[in-house]
């Protein structure tokens, strides 16, 4: 009798454990999260516009960037350079640089910001992408003792400055699978064309033209006066 009682208690406890683990622990275990199968870095390169983002701290509205964009290129040393452009809330163009460092697992990378961008380093996992429309990336900044993530960063990217509701819905499903509440992501505003150093340089070129033209005009008028 006693043996039966102990046995059935053990079976009961194991069953409970299985149900609880299956629901709450295993599902949210960071090391079970899948990244994009056969991730193809070359196809991933190029420009991605940030649609939505999540960081593990509060960013006041006045400090949120507009027109935020990453441009990934590979240099001859096989390093992936990231040029980041954004506008701050007073519409000033900002430029930051980073590296996207590879690891042994394709799709699991490390974004390493240069000092101009704050110097932060965080994991950058491509959870899903179709390369031509959208991408979902995820980073766990702190793994808790129970294997769940304490500090999540996540981004939804688009090749354009907008994204379809259908794609947003499918990223929501994926985010749920990463134990991230999709409604906690903040939407990025895209209000103007992305900042471009070339355009800024063009402005400088135009003004340097004026710097030449003005002395010439002054010279000519002096010449005429003489």
Ligand X SMILES: *[C@@H]1O[C@H](CO)[C@@H](O)[C@H](O)[C@H]1NC(C)=O
Chain contacts with ligand X (rule: CB under 6 A)? 19-20, 23-25, 28, 47, 62, 71, 73, 79, 83, 88-90, 92, 99, 101, 110, 112, 121, 144, 146, 148, 165-166, 169
Closer of 9 and 142 to ligand X (Cβ): 142
| Shortest spacing between CB 90 and ligand X, in angstroms | 4
| Shortest spacing between CB 225 and ligand X, in angstroms | 42
As separate numbers, helices (DSSP H) first and strands (DSSP E) second, the chain gives 4, 9
Closer of 35 and 159 to ligand X (Cβ): 159
Identify the CA nearest to 194 among candidates 88, 116, 86, 52: 86
Cβ(161)–Cβ(190) below 8 Å: yes
| Shortest spacing between CB 137 and ligand X, in angstroms | 16
Q: Containing H/E element for 68?
A: strand 66-74
97 vs 72, 183, 191, 218, CA distance in Å? Answer: 10, 29, 22, 42
d(CA 151, CA 57): 9
Cβ(134)–Cβ(157) below 8 Å: yes
Closer of 91 and 221 to ligand X (Cβ): 91
Closer of 173 and 214 to ligand X (Cβ): 173
| Shortest spacing between CB 209 and ligand X, in angstroms | 24
Identify the CA nearest to 122 among candidates 146, 106, 143, 148: 143
Q: Containing H/E element for 215?
A: helix 197-225
Closer of 192 and 214 to ligand X (Cβ): 192
| Shortest spacing between CB 45 and ligand X, in angstroms | 9
- Residue 165, burial from CB neighbour count under 10 angstroms (0-12, 13-18, 19+): exposed
Closer of 90 and 207 to ligand X (Cβ): 90
| Shortest spacing between CB 98 and ligand X, in angstroms | 9
């Amino acid at each position: 009798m006693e043996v039966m009682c102990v046995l059935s208690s053990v079976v009961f406890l194991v069953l409970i454990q299985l149900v609880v683990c299956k629901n709450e622990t295993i599902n949210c275990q960071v090391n079970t999260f899948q990244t994009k199968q056969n991730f193809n870095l070359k196809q991933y390169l190029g420009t991605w516009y940030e649609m939505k983002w999540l960081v593990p701290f509060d960013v006041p509205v006045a400090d949120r960037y507009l027109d935020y964009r990453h441009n990934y290129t590979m240099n001859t040393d096989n390093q992936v350079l990231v040029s980041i452009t954004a506008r701050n809330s007073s519409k000033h163009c900002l430029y930051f640089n980073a590296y996207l460092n590879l690891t042994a697992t394709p799709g699991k990378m490390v974004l390493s910001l240069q000092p101009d961008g704050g110097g932060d380093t965080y994991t950058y996992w491509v959870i899903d992408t179709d390369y031509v429309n959208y991408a979902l990336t995820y980073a766990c900044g702190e793994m808790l003792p129970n294997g769940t993530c304490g500090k999540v960063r996540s981004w939804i990217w688009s090749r354009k400055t907008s994204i379809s509701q259908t794609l947003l819905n499918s990223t929501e499903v994926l985010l749920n699978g990463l134990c991230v509440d999709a409604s906690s992501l903040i939407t990025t505003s895209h209000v103007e064309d992305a900042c471009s150093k070339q355009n800024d340089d063009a402005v400088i070129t135009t003004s340097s033209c004026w710097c030449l033209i003005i002395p010439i005009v002054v010279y000519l008028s002096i010449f005429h006066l003489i």
